[in-house]
Every structure is written in structure tokens, then in C-alpha cells.
Amino acid sequence: MSKDKLWGGRFTQPTDKFVEEFTASINFDKRLYQQDIRGSIAHATMLGKQGIIPQEDVDAIVNGLNDILAQIEAGNFDFSVSLEDIHMNIEARLSAKIGDAGKRLHTGRSRNDQVALDIRLYLRDELVEIMAYIEKLMDSLLFQAEENLSVIMPGFTHLQTAQPILFSHHMMAYYEMLKRDKGRMEDCLKRTNVLPLGAGALAGTTFPIDREFVAEQLGFPEVTRNSLDSVSDRDFALEFCSASSILMMHLSRFSEELILWSTSDFKFVELTDSFCTGSSIMPQKKNPDVPELVRGKTGRVYGNLIALLTVMKSLPLAYNKDMQEDKEPLFDTIDTVKGSLKIFADMVREMKVNEARMKNAAGGGFSTATDVADYLVRKGLPFRDAHEVVGKAVRYCIENQMDIPELSLAEWQVFSARIDADIFGFITLEASVNARKATGGTALERVKAEIARAREGR
């Protein structure tokens, strides 16, 4: 029979064994034990304050829950699939320990608002930790930017050499991405940090509860305003998975560059041995497995977002069993993001930069062609005409297997009489980089200012 179920009064037949295993969530939601106990202690304290249950029962409940917490953390708690989830496992153990007082704990609440509370508490804790990991990676980027402040590298569009830039400028580009990622996590935290407990199953409760008191105990600045929405809302989890997908996309883009840069063709950077592996057959290989795996895990996080969106897309109000499927995508995203950020921060800090190789590559591919066009504009030629002049000069270089810096003054003047000997001061890599002084540019003075701004702003 279903007498072993805390909800079994209405049932006359036992739950099918496979159904029991299929519908249970304890194998993955047991990680919510701390949040479940914290929420239950706050709820019981409120019930006592409001005179809904006797104070002696509150004391027994709180002491019992703290004992259960210690048991779980010591590894001495046997979780039962037949009790379905973390809430019922803890409540059943509590009632077994303290008797009828434990059975009064669930007064004025439902598993629907209880699980909504647990997930919000859990995600709130994890968001704080994830933001700390983001800041650690941002610090690693600042470290690399400061250590390699004047290193010149080729900037790319379409993966073709475009213009010379500073490596430090490139690192600061990822800093800006992560700054936005952190901002999205902060915004997500605001909407996560709202108390749903007190909504009951869907309509609220007939007991004179004090939701604001519970919110104060648990550190929530506000409570939810609609009981239906309170138990059926998973927007905060979707928002986290969305923000995480963007974050992982940024890490994947960075991974792709690190993979390219560490090849024998580029040799721009070297990842330390701690973050690479070898080949089982080719003894010379040093494979960038960490960035490759982060690049791969990005798809996993995208999948979690789509899975959760799909779960929620056609659910009528209020709670539905489908929503049990919210936890595994959320938990997996949390674990993946934390692991990726942690390993990335250490890997980037230890990365070695090949300054000579980068600068040599920056000098190829006609990377200062735009500077010649800008030079001609300053001499009074309209930009489109200047663009055409430089395009012809580049074609001449290609036909003669030359690069822009190798052209003589006489050759330059074939293309435009406006070109004088001062042209050579405009087409060095250093001149090209440092001419871009507008806010956000790659000039050394601008990059220094952005690094200082980053150091001061955090």
C-alpha cells in the first residue's frame, strides 16, 4: 500500500516500483539539502512566532533539522527513492526522530512553494560563487594585459590579417565580455532573490503566516506577489541558463583563439603543460585539451537552456510534474560554468606569450594599408579615392611579392603625387597602433587607461 508515502492517505494501491524510480528526483535534488533545511527552519520559526504551532514543537523541529544536517554532511544519511525527493526524505526522517512535532512542520506550505524556495536559495548561493570565478578570470586577463602591455600582434577580421593591435588590447576585449557576463549574473541574482514560500500549492494558505518575517530570516529583500506565479515561475533558472550560454560562448571564442594561437603555424602563445595532454601515438604532440573541452562544453550548456525552455513552453498554471525536469539542466549548467571558469582563470594566467612571433605576423598581410589611406586623407584626398590608391599599391605589392613597408618613395609616388617621405613614419607597426587614440582604441595610452579603469572600477 502507499502508507509509507507522506501523501498516501488517498491511495489504496502501492506505487509501481518502476514508476517510483522513474518519478523520484532524490538522486539529483539531494544536493539541495542545505537549502531545504534552512528554509524549513525559517518556516518553523515563523509558525511558532505566529502561534500556528507550539514553541516546544518549533524547538524540537529546529534541533532535529540541525541533527539531520550534521548527519547528511557526515555522510550518515541514507536517501530513499521511495520518499521521492529531498523534501520528503528530510521530513520523514524528522518525524521519525521527533514524532508528531515533525509532522507539524509542513503546516502552511506545499512542496510546490518549498521546492521553488530551495532552488532560489541554491541558485543564489551559486551565483555569488560564479561571479567570484568570473572576477578571477578577469584578473587573469588584466595580468596578461599588464605583463604584455606593448606586445604587438595582428588583428583579424574574417581570420585574415587586418590591422596591427596590442595583445593587451585583445585581452581587454575579453575582459569587457566578462564584465557584461558578470552584469547579467548580477541581474539574474536580483530576480532570483525573491521569496516564493507562502504561496502554498498554488493559492496561498489559510494560516496567518508572516512571509516577510521568513524573507528577513533567509535574506530575501522581497517576496513574490502572486501565488500562482510563485510556484510555476522558473524564469530565474532560464535567465541563468541564458546568461551562462552567453558566458560559455565567450569562453568558446577565446578557446578557439587559444587553440589556433598555440598551433605550430601560429606559435603566438604556449599553454603550460598543466593544461595540455599528449598523444597516445605521436610523441611530439602537445594538445590544448582544456580549451577544446571548454569549447565542447559550450554546446552542453546551450542544450540545457533549450531543454529547460522546452519543459516550460506549454505548461498551464500552476505547478506541473514536468517542472521536476528543471533541476538537472540547472545543476549541470552551474557545474559546467564553475568548472570552465576556474580552469580558464588558471590557464590564462600561466599562458606564455611569444612576442617576436606575434610582431612578425603583425607586419605581414598589408596590415598598415589603412594607415596609408588615412595618410592620404590627411593630405586632402577623399577617403574613397585614397582607398582606391592603396588598393592599387597592394595589388602592385602582390604582383611583385613585396609588402607595404618595402615600397620605395618613388614607387609610392607612382600611385599618388601627394605621398612624401613622411609616409614611412605612418606605416610602422608602432605608429599604426598608437595612432588609434580614440576611446576604445588600441593605442598604448588608451589600453593603459582602460587597464587602470578596470583596476579602479572593481
pLDDT bin (cut points 50, 70, 90) of residue 24 is confident
Residue 347 has pLDDT above 90, yes or no: yes
158 as an active site residue: the answer is: yes
Average pLDDT of the chain, as a whole number = 94
How much of the chain, in percent, has pLDDT values that exceed 90? 90
Residue 9 has pLDDT above 70, yes or no: no
Indicate the residue type of 446: R
How far is Cα 72 from Cα 28, in angstroms, rounded to an integer?
Answer: 15
| SS3 (DSSP) at 163 | strand
How far is Cα 305 from Cα 337, in angstroms, rounded to an integer?
Answer: 13
Phi, psi torsion values for 430, nearest 5 degrees:
-65, -45
- The residue written with cell numbers 521527533 in the block is 98
Q: Which of 232, 245, 252, 279 is catalytic?
A: 279
- Altogether, the residues listed in the chain come to a count of 458
Residue 276 has pLDDT above 90, yes or no: no
Question: pLDDT tens digits, residue range 157-204?
Answer: 999 999 999 999 999 999 999 999 999 999 999 999 999 999 999 999
Write out the E strands in 51-159: 152-157
The mean per-residue pLDDT over the stretch 7-26 comes to: 67
Question: pLDDT tens digits, residue range 368-418?
Answer: 999 999 999 999 999 999 999 999 999 999 999 999 999 999 999 999 999
- The pLDDT of residue 16: 64
| SS3 (DSSP) at 243 | helix
The mean per-residue pLDDT over the stretch 103-113 comes to: 97
Q: Are 30 and 89 in contact (CB under 8 A)?
A: yes
Burial class (CB in 10 A: 0-12, 13-18, 19+), 431: middle
Task: Residue 317: count other Cβ atoms within 10 Å of its Cβ.
Answer: 12
Using only C-alpha atoms, what is the Rg of the chain?
31
- The residue written with cell numbers 585614397 in the block is 386
Write out the E strands in 198-286: 222-223, 269-270
Residue 7 has pLDDT above 60, yes or no: no
Q: In Å, what is the CA distance from 133 to each residue of 160, 178, 268, 296, 372?
A: 33, 10, 26, 20, 44
- The pLDDT of residue 1: 37
Write out the E strands in 220-337: 222-223, 269-270
Indicate the residue type of 457: G
Q: Which of 158, 280, 314, 408 is catalytic?
A: 158
Question: pLDDT tens digits, residue range 73-94?
Answer: 999 999 999 998 999 999 999 9
How far is Cα 205 from Cα 332, in angstroms, rounded to an integer?
Answer: 34
Indicate the residue type of 357: R
- The pLDDT of residue 408: 96
How far is Cα 286 from Cα 299, in angstroms, rounded to an integer?
Answer: 24
pLDDT bin (cut points 50, 70, 90) of residue 278 is confident
